[in-house]
A and B are shown apart, each in its own frame.
Chain A
Amino acid sequence: MVKLSRYILVLIAITGLAIVLPKLYWMAFAQPVKSPFVQYSAVDNDFLILRNEEKTVFTNTKGETFTREEYEARLPFVYTRQLLMNRTLPDSINGVEMDPHQISKYRSIFRLKPEDIRAPQPSLFPLFESQSGRVNLEMPEDFFRITWRMEFIDAETNQINEEKSRMFSAVLYKRGFQFPATSISGIPTTLKSCDEGYLVIDSANQLFHIKMVEGKPFVRRVDLPEGLKFKTIQCTDNSDKLYYAYLFSEDKHLYMLTQYDYLLEHFPVDDIDPEKHEIRIYGDLLNFNVSVLGEGFVRSHIFDRDLNPVDEYSEIWPVQSQRKEGKIAAALFPVQLSMTNPNSGFINFYFQPSPAFYWLAVSLLLAIVQFILIRKRKQKLRSQLPDLLIICLTGIFGFLAVNFFPNKFFS
């Protein structure tokens, strides 16, 4: 039992050290990784890349460099106001008139990080009145959840509004909703142009659009292709009012849901995984730019407004683990442990095993040092074998841990 308590303490120490030591190491030696910023120029029909190196460099895929003014002129949908001010906004591109109002109407920016999805999700939402006749949205007095029925809970009294709950539940039931809901997506803020309610997946994987119109439920079931399941649905509030949401399927495809006729439009690109990579979708008058950003790479897919592929570009750069300081860390630490992860909002033990096997050499070296220490202390080798094994497997963490909790037992 006493020996067991020691091994438990060694385990605890290894856990703590495997988190703290790499953290300290990176605090001391981490260098910023500068990733390029890739945009698509409809003027050049080429990608423009902004590199933050010692000096900011504006370049394209052919390696040409530009001045800031040249760069901005090639991105009229991004720097519209600047170009207007300089009076250099072109009249038309590819035959499409460059009307500032149209440009602004069709411009949209969407960003989704893995930590937005892989995070605790709320299960209570405000259902706004979508046709209040007021300019501004108001935070409703009650919040809803969809469990065995749709329930509205009044915040002031913390009581269920029975009448409203029954009304909405009945309509949901009539439309074939299978309680409970498995995911509820919407934009639960009053800071949006208008309310389009929520997109809700029920327990039979059916997609519903639920909103409140003049106090009454509006429920619409959306037809989905057989077997289509979504990882996440991200509602949008774009000024073009063409789409309700971006939908990311389990099989890593990207869809948009059109307003009014509820059509699912598919982007012809695969491997869009918002659980692993950051996704950015820029919409403008002419194109959609779907960018996938991961550690050490960026991938941009350009589509026209009808979602036909136009162009694509990708680039990779060395990440921290491939650089000198990363290689040293990989040799020093058999594993780097962290409670947080840039790709998740959850706290957990995130293991990052060493990609190289140099750590084995370091571990063996430490095991030899320990062996010498054992000899010096005239301890019996047999009783110390588990310690040596621990050091071989866990390197510096184990070496410190077994010496923090001395292995001194009497028979």
Chain B
Amino acid sequence: MWKAMIYKEWLKIRWFTLLYTLLGMLAVGYLFLKVQHDTTFNQANNYWNLILFKGLKFFSLLKFIPLAGGLLVAVAQYFPETVNKRIKLTFHLPFNENKVLLSMMVFGSCCLLVVYLILIALFSGIAAFYFPSNIILPALVSLIPWFLAGFSAYYLVALIVLEPVWKYRFLYLLVAATFIPLFFKNGPTAAYQPVNITLAVLTILLSISLLFSGYRFRKGEM
């Protein structure tokens, strides 16, 4: 099952994923170009001071980039399945229906994870050139909820797109609109420290939510 499903899912999302990775890397690149520029004009020690004591978030450009990635991959992966109810083909494959959905979700999550890890590695790698760990680690703590939001958005889009009834799609969208902002609260750098684990657990729980709308589709809700 895995070989076939990975092939199919990869065909759907490959260009979007690659394009997104590229754009994400460009964003990280631009971010540090700006850091380079600002430290040149504003002196590095003043720039550090702003980061440490004045609440400057030099990484804030990345705020919605993981979210955009989650939305993009989810739409690329699940939207083609719902056009003309093509998901029927997927359910008719000689595999367990829930396993098929889970394999799609796991593959999408893995792609997203790989891209995110690339972006985080790139970010940390370049940041290490400019900043000590005392600045990078709090920045990463602040980045984590944004990346978790990317995963959550991915899972919620899967749920919403696969749901067969428009009324419920709208209600799920409402739930998503109450949940996703939890990852984007304003606060000082590293303010999410105590809650990151909880948000990660909720995100992981959310990963199987597409089974619900998949089930509703299979039972002929309309």
Binding site for B on A (CB under 8 A): 1-2, 4-6, 8-9, 11-13, 15-17, 19-20, 119-120, 122-126, 139-143, 145, 153, 155-156, 158, 188-189, 339-340, 345-349, 401, 404-406, 408-410
B124 within 8 A of A: no
A-B contact pairs, 18 of them (CB 8 A): A9-B209, A9-B212, A12-B205, A16-B177, A17-B178, A120-B141, A120-B188, A122-B53, A139-B45, A139-B46, A143-B45, A155-B39, A155-B47, A158-B128, A347-B194, A348-B195, A348-B198, A409-B215
Once the chains bind, are A346 and B193 in contact (CB under 8 Å)?
A: yes
Judged by a CB distance under 8 angstroms, whether B75 is at the interface is no
Q: Which of B71-98 contact A (CB under 8 A)?
A: 98
CB of A148 to closest CB in B, whole Å: 13
| Contact across chains for B189 and A339 when beta carbons are under 8 A apart | no
Interface pair B168/A406, CB less than 8 Å apart: yes
- A16 in contact with B182 given A8-B206, A143-B48, A155-B47 (CB within 8 Å): yes
Measured CB to CB, the nearest residue on chain A to B195 is: A348
Which B-chain residue is minimally distant from A125 (CB atoms)?
B52
Chain B neighbourhood of A409, CB < 8 A: 215
> Is B168 in contact with A5, judged by CB distance below 8 angstroms?
no
Bitwise interface map of B from 38 to 70 toward A, beta carbon under 8 Å scored 1, else 0: 010001111111001100000000000000000
- Is B179 in contact with A12, judged by CB distance below 8 angstroms? yes
Residues of B within 8 A of A189 (CB): 53
A155 B212 Cβ-Cβ under 8 A = no
Partner of B45, one of A17, A156, A340: A156
Query: Which of these, B135, B182, B205, B215, contacts A2 with CB under 8 Å?
Result: B215
CB atoms of B202 and A122 under 8 A apart? no
CB distance from A123 to the nearest CB of B (A): 5
Give complex CA distance A139, B49 in Å.
Answer: 9
Is the Cβ of B134 less than 8 Å from the Cβ of A145? Answer: yes
Q: Identify B202's interface contact among A6, A15, A125, A339, CB under 8 A.
A: A15
Given contacts A145-B134, A408-B221, contact A2 B52 (CB under 8 A): no
Residues of A within 8 A of B221 (CB): 408
Which residue, A2, A143, A401, A408, has most C-beta atoms of chain B within 10 A? A2
A12-B206 contact in complex given A153-B132, A345-B187, A408-B219, C-beta closer than 8 Å: yes
- How far, in Å, is B219 (CB) from chain A's closest CB? 6
Distance in angstroms from B162 CB to nearest chain A CB is: 12
CB-CB under 8 A from A410, the residues of chain B are: 219
Query: How far does the alpha carbon of A156 sit from the alpha carbon of B44 in the complex, in Å?
Result: 5
Is the C-beta of B1 less than 8 angstroms from some C-beta in chain A? Answer: no
Q: Decide if B216 is an interface residue (CB 8 Å cutoff).
A: yes
How far does the Cβ of B154 sit from chain A's closest Cβ, in whole Å?
A: 14
Which residue of chain B is the closest to A338 with respect to CB atoms? B185
B112 in the interface (beta carbon within 8 A): no
B15 at the interface (CB under 8 A from A): no
B106 to chain A, nearest CB (A): 14
- How distant is the Cα of A20 from the Cα of B98 in the complex, in angstroms? 32
Q: Which residues of B contact A (CB under 8 A)?
A: 39, 43-49, 52-53, 98, 128-132, 134-135, 138, 141, 159, 168, 171-172, 174-175, 177-179, 182, 185, 187-195, 198, 202, 205-206, 208-212, 214-216, 219, 221
- Please pick, from A5, A15, A188, A406, the residue contacting B49 in the complex, using a CB distance under 8 A: A188
Q: In the complex, A389→B25 CA distance in Å?
A: 48
Residues of chain A contacted by B194 (CB below 8 angstroms):
346-348
Q: Are B171 and A19 in contact (CB under 8 A)?
A: no
Interface of A: prevailing SS? loop
Assembled-state Cα–Cα distance A287/B128 (Å): 50
Determine if B175 and A339 form an interchain contact, defined as CB atoms under 8 angstroms apart. no
Of A12, A17, A119, A145, the residue contacting B191 (CB under 8 A) is A119
Q: B49 and A2: CB pair below 8 A? A: no
> A23 → chain B, closest Cβ, in Å?
10
Partner of B134, one of A9, A122, A140: A122
Separation of A4 and B214 alpha carbons in the complex (Å): 13
Which residue of chain B has its CB nearest to the CB of A138? B45
Min CB distance B189 to A, Å, is 6
Complex formed: what's the CA distance from A140 to B49 in Å?
Answer: 10
Complex Cα distance A145/B131, Å? 13
Within the assembled complex, what's the spacing in Å between the Cα atoms of A15 and B182? Answer: 10
The contact of B187 among A8, A123, A125, A347, by CB within 8 Å, is A347
Whether B215 lies near A347 (C-beta < 8 A) is no
Q: How far is the CA of A188 from the CA of B50 in the complex (A)?
A: 11
Contact B132 A9 (CB under 8 A): no
Which of A2, A124, A143, A347 meets B195, CB within 8 Å? A347
Q: How far is the CA of A349 from the CA of B202 in the complex (A)?
A: 12
Q: A142-B45, A404-B168 are in contact. Are A1 and B195 (CB under 8 A)?
A: no
Q: How far is A143 from B52 in the complex, measured between Cα atoms in Å?
A: 10
Shortest distance in angstroms between B91's beta carbon and chain A's nearest beta carbon? 13
Q: What distance in Å separates the Cβ of B183 from its nearest Cβ neighbour in chain A?
A: 9
Residues of the B chain whose Cβ atoms lie less than 8 Å from the Cβ of A401:
175
Q: Are B48 and A124 in contact (CB under 8 A)?
A: yes
B182 surroundings in chain A (CB, below 8 A): 15-16, 19, 339
Minimum C-beta distance from B167 to chain A (A):
10
A124 to B172, CA, bound (A): 44
CB atoms of A5 and B48 under 8 A apart: no
The answer to whether B130 and A158 have CB atoms under 8 Å apart is yes
Cα distance A279–B98 in the bound complex, in angstroms = 57
If A139-B45, A404-B174 touch, whether A12 touches B202 (CB-CB below 8 Å) is: yes
Residue in B131, B159, B193, B212 whose beta carbon sits within 8 Å of that of A158 in the complex: B131
Partner of A405, one of B185, B193, B212: B212
Interfacial chain B residues near A19, Cβ < 8 Å: 178, 182
Contact status of A9 and B159, CB under 8 A, knowing A4-B208, A16-B175, A141-B45: yes
- Nearest A residue to B127 by beta-carbon distance? A158
